[in-house]
Structure 1
């Protein structure tokens, strides 16, 4: 019976014995165990809606009373579109299964009765989702992506500004509030400043503003003698920063026409003498090294202590900035050789990152459980938490590394500027400190 078929055979595939898979009752080897993959939602387009009757008055919805058996409407086109958008965001950002399920449940609660023209406010969804243990951040991200979200939360800056203006006289309060908002938001002829600058200015001026509020009702009553009397109570860098902040405040008030004369004009800041930068003690460095136990914190410590990277530069580092094959590291656009210590802690962190968040799409080198579901950098607090309370902080370690370079390779400002990308004045300051320390060591050294 096989003769006709065998005559047609021209070649035969050989196999090595005992390599074929035997049938077994358990799950096949090589397959990923666990729950089955979530089915993909059906593709959906944005719902089309025309003219919408404006609401006569605002009615806030209470999603905490949502009953799935009574209120669920899975055929709502807005819900279908949101579920499709959530699926695409989950794939792009690497959301785990638990987060996908939470977001899907939250969207059913929020959008089952949604109609065109409505907006979903943060104050409406937060209590309903938080009481059920669902992800508010990821749900808000989906709602904002489809254009139906309205964030009605007061900003952190507004709350902070209200607390700092508390206790000031009404006239002084108006000028200070206008000045603080101009610094943060900018104006037609001024660029917005960093929010940390606004915090520093107002925190420094609040004591003297409270003192003046007890005597005056407006800033135009403040005289030059009042400014000089307050400056006499502070010294060094505090005097300089206080005068800079007062000058900025009164310049803005003068431009607005709320004061007649700037009391800070022709008050000189003065030349501030910079002291000698002192190196860290070995015991302080050992204490900071012992304080870091997590792979991410070890990498942060190495970046600051070996490469003199600032916290902001550490947060901005991308995966592409770390070239393990060529042993190179790019910090703020400057290529640095990758030493053995940094290489080992970087490999340990990458292995931990791969095991902890295998599906993340965040391109930054350092991530945590919040940013693993997003694409932004970690916060500044996450960078500095491990060394909080230590003498050798990240900033002190960075300064000590740059000073060490000047001590080892000689006090050469061009060398320091080339290695670390320092500005001219900063490089000269480190050079002067290194020269002073080397001279002191030579004077106190043993006489041969």
Structure 2
């Protein structure tokens, strides 16, 4: 038997070599097929479910060779594991073995063939899109949602509302597209109002100022303010398009929104949230929110280069912060787990999971919020509590809060006012 030091130093072979199987060779270099393309006379839906990758492989097909070469380059660049590379290659054999110039692979054709075989559709689609043969024929989720939300609204009102929502979503000649969540929130906010007006009116030009005030009088606080802002946007666009004669929301004051006093979290709520996170990534996310008051969007966008272990610095949202002992400990724990779990990933983001490790995008919002779902101390509550704690410990100074956390002046003043009230209440209780 060989000495222990020789057995320990012996390199560990891949599974396929330990089992005596030769490594599958890399696909040979290929270039995009050229030449003249015969336009299709009519479209024909193909059935890829009947293709057996073991029997119907067309090794001489230049399109298959180009697709396999593209998949190999993407896999090398993204660090795809061998299992994923073989799955994508098998999918490409099914879809491209009989491909000819001018053909496209539609999602409706691809899904029935790959889904039952449990082949990776997302990465296969990415390869097909790189070589320009993929056609997504699915109905966009936005179109399905818009059709549902406009159902029940009077046709005349519906035309103006649909044009307004599409302008928010897609933009126009003189307006930039808004975030998709903005379009969703705006229409969801005024849909009950539009349904009520649809029972009496056929067009928005029939809506009067009194109708708007009647709807606003039934609301209070932030709901009233938000509803008026959305109605102003809708009628302003309708006036610009010439479909109404007068804007009924003009000269209706929004009013100053009154915020309540922010309250610190109870210690037991924080302890429960700390005990709820058990994975290295979740512990790092909790530390970033509870210690550095980082928003979930900023956490998702963090890059590996933003974490400077040597100089103990962390850059969040463009602001450099010192790296405390707790954050340093959980960050090192996560980096070690990440290195062992995905050693070949090319994703530059600090936080990744089994899905994003194969690409270069950030993790989803759900990935961050799921571990603390249902807890009293969520990531957002922990972020707020950290900023309020800074105001209570160092004094209610808006300038200090703006400098430490990068807050705008209104938000910093709000935290300072809440801290001032809490400090006064604490002093009064001590005097009693």
Taking structure 1 as the reference length, the TM-score comes to 0.92
Aligned partner of 1:346 in structure 2 is 331
- Work out which of the residue numbers 268, 271, 278 in structure 1 matches 2:256: 271
- Work out which of the residue numbers 13, 37, 51 in structure 2 matches 1:32: 13
Aligned partner of 1:218 in structure 2 is 203
Partner-residue secondary structure (3-state), 1:35 = helix
> Does the 8 Å contact 2:61/2:98 carry over to 1?
yes
**1:213-236 superposed Cα distances (whole Å, 9 cap, x missing partner):** 122222112111111111011100
User: Within 1, Cα distance between the matches of 2:156 and 2:277?
Assistant: 50
**1:389-409 superposed Cα distances (whole Å, 9 cap, x missing partner):** 112111111111111001001
Distance 1:348 1:75, change over 3 A: same
**1:276-326 superposed Cα distances (whole Å, 9 cap, x missing partner):** 111111121112112212111111111001000001000000011111111
Task: Tell me the CA shift for residue 69 of structure 1.
Answer: 5.5
> Is 1:116 equivalent to 2:101 in the alignment?
yes
> Is 1:390 equivalent to 2:375 in the alignment?
yes
User: Within 2, Cα distance between the matches of 1:142 and 1:246?
Assistant: 44
Aligned partner of 2:394 in structure 1 is 409
User: Within 2, Cα distance between the matches of 1:70 and 1:275?
Assistant: 70
> Does the 8 Å contact 2:265/2:377 carry over to 1?
yes
**1:240-263 superposed Cα distances (whole Å, 9 cap, x missing partner):** 000000000111111111112111
**1:180-221 superposed Cα distances (whole Å, 9 cap, x missing partner):** 110111111111111111111111111111111122222112
**1:27-69 superposed Cα distances (whole Å, 9 cap, x missing partner):** 991243421443211111111121x332232111111111346
- Number of aligned residue pairs: 426
Partner-residue secondary structure (3-state), 1:367 = coil
Gaps of at least 5 residues in structure 1 are 1-17
> Does the 8 Å contact 2:38/2:101 carry over to 1?
no
Aligned partner of 1:178 in structure 2 is 163
Aligned partner of 1:283 in structure 2 is 268
Aligned partner of 1:153 in structure 2 is 138
Aligned partner of 2:20 in structure 1 is none
- Work out which of the residue numbers 45, 54, 61 in structure 1 matches 2:39: 54
Partner-residue secondary structure (3-state), 1:445 = helix
Distance 1:20 1:283, change over 3 A: closer
Give runs of aligned pairs for residues 285-304 of structure 1, distance below 5 A. 285-304=270-289
> Does the 8 Å contact 2:40/2:102 carry over to 1?
no
Partner-residue secondary structure (3-state), 1:336 = strand
**1:145-171 superposed Cα distances (whole Å, 9 cap, x missing partner):** 111111111222112212211221111
Aligned partner of 1:429 in structure 2 is 414
User: Within 1, Cα distance between the matches of 2:97 and 2:312?
Assistant: 54
Partner-residue secondary structure (3-state), 2:320 = strand
- Work out which of the residue numbers 414, 426, 429 in structure 2 matches 1:444: 429
Aligned partner of 1:365 in structure 2 is 350
Task: Tell me the CA shift for residue 355 of structure 1.
Answer: 1.6
Query: Higher Cα Rg: structure 1 or 2?
Result: 1
Aligned partner of 1:102 in structure 2 is 87
> Is 1:355 equivalent to 2:336 in the alignment?
no
Q: What RMSD, in angstroms, separates the aligned Cα atoms of the two structures?
A: 1.8
Task: Tell me the CA shift for residue 446 of structure 1.
Answer: 4.2
Moved more, 30-39 or 74-83: 30-39
Task: Tell me the CA shift for residue 269 of structure 1.
Answer: 0.3
Aligned partner of 1:321 in structure 2 is 306
Aligned partner of 1:9 in structure 2 is none
Task: Tell me the CA shift for residue 131 of structure 1.
Answer: 1.3
Give structure 1 regions of 4+ aligned residues with deviation exceeding 6 angstroms. Answer: 18-22
Give runs of aligned pairs for residues 57-136 of structure 1, distance below 5 A. 57-68=42-53, 70-136=55-121
User: Within 1, Cα distance between the matches of 2:154 and 2:237?
Assistant: 18
